[in-house]
Amino acid sequence: MTAERAVSGAIALTRMWANIYTLAMARTRRAERLAELESDLHEQRTAAGRDSYVLAWSILFRALRGAPADALNVAEMWLPDRVLRRLQEPLAAAGVAAIVATGILLAGLPTVDFATHVYQRAIFLQHGFALWNNFWYAGRYSFVTYSLLFYPLAGVVGVEVVAVVAVALAALMFSVVVLRQWGRDAIWSSRTFAVVWGGIVLSAAFPFALGTAMALLAIWALQRRRLWRFYLLASLTVLASPLAFLVLTATLAGIAIGRHLSSGSSESRRIATS
């Protein structure tokens, strides 16, 4: 890739992100924000004198670092102050995960299993929930082992959109769950998860990403002692990805064992001190 292409790519990604986060803005405000960004990008490119990889990285880095502030701009339009303050970190995590995932998809990096989802989506649109597909290897179940939830959603809005939303939702919920459990100590876990989780797009394990988002929602429901909501979300986890459901089951089993052991040791302490 030449330096000129790298700079053009960075500008295109920045524009793309701006077009996404300004969607919810009023028309005039959106036009002004986009025009101001356009001016900034032009000035930076002109001031640099010539295109270079450093310039491309600088433009992209400015967009990436500003993503949480952009996400907050959007959130401020809808959410009351009290909720917004509590959701500030999770929203920032979701914004970062979304921009990493979108960047990977737009950059056209090789995503291992992407073709599978495009094919599966086409099968779903043409044949609905076909149980068996004879045209894949020596025949296999179409959706049951992959996802019953992902392809209908992808059929409506597209594979990429569902993937990015699932990744962002999982980052948001991971942040909500760990901050609720461990408070401010978990901030860096939340942030690192957001960056790394965006990279799951490289494996194109999109149904798993959606399933993980549902599983984290289920854990959140459990934290809040909303059992019916938990059952519903656990069911959606199975529908989104059997593998994610397995992870959810293992996580819950781990929590249950941990609680059992800690209650056992506190019981021992109680007996020893009595």
Which residues in this chain contact other proteins in the complex, by CB under 8 A?
14, 18, 32-33, 35-40, 42-44, 46-47, 58, 61-70, 72-73, 81
In the complex with other proteins, the residue whose CB is nearer, 45 or 117, is: 45
In the three-class reduction of DSSP (H, G, I as helix; E, B as strand; rest coil), residue 132 is classed as strand
As measured in angstroms, the least distance from the Cβ of 81 to other proteins is: 6
As measured in angstroms, the least distance from the Cβ of 55 to other proteins is: 11
As measured in angstroms, the least distance from the Cβ of 200 to other proteins is: 24
| 177, 220 Cβ separation under 8 angstroms | yes
d(CA 34, CA 44): 15
As measured in angstroms, the least distance from the Cβ of 45 to other proteins is: 10
As measured in angstroms, the least distance from the Cβ of 67 to other proteins is: 6
In the complex with other proteins, the residue whose CB is nearer, 162 or 172, is: 172
The pair of structure tokens assigned to 237 is: 């986890």
| 99, 19 Cβ separation under 8 angstroms | no
Q: Mind giving me the DSSP string for 49-94?
A: SS--HHHHHHHHHHHHHHHHHHHHHHHHHHS-HHHHHHHHHHHHHH
The pair of structure tokens assigned to 225 is: 């002692």
In the complex with other proteins, the residue whose CB is nearer, 14 or 147, is: 14
In the complex with other proteins, the residue whose CB is nearer, 68 or 103, is: 68
d(CA 265, CA 115): 51
d(CA 231, CA 224): 13
As measured in angstroms, the least distance from the Cβ of 165 to other proteins is: 20
In the complex with other proteins, the residue whose CB is nearer, 56 or 178, is: 56
Helix (H) or strand (E) holding 99: helix 81-107
The contacts of residue 131 (CB under 8 Å, 6+ apart) are 141, 142, 144
In the complex with other proteins, the residue whose CB is nearer, 32 or 267, is: 32
